[in-house]
Amino acid sequence: MANVGGIDRILRAIVGIAIIVWSLQAGNLWWILGAVVLGTAIFKFCLLYKLIGMTTDKSTGTKE
């Protein structure tokens, strides 16, 4: 079930890509964090949001 939507999703994608690009240029392993953040944007799901019962996806209609 989706719990990431709208502006949250766009910001996650931008931040994820930025972390990946920076990490690959710097030669460190932070790209893993960038991939996780980008993955939450792509799949519209954040485990942390699920654990705390939060959602930014307006299409669900209710907060979990």
Q: For position 7, what pLDDT does the model report? A: 95
As a whole number of angstroms, the distance between CA 56 and CA 2 comes to 9
As a whole number of angstroms, the distance between CA 34 and CA 22 comes to 9
Q: How many CA atoms lie within 13 A of 42 on its CB side?
A: 8
Q: For position 12, what pLDDT does the model report? A: 97
* Model pLDDT for residues 44-61, shown as the tens digit of each residue: 999 999 999 999 998 865
* Model pLDDT for residues 2-61, shown as the tens digit of each residue: 999 999 999 999 999 999 999 999 999 999 999 999 999 999 999 999 999 999 998 865
Q: For position 62, what pLDDT does the model report? A: 55
Q: For the chain, what are the domain ranges?
A: 6-57
Residues 6+ apart with CB under 8 A from 27: none
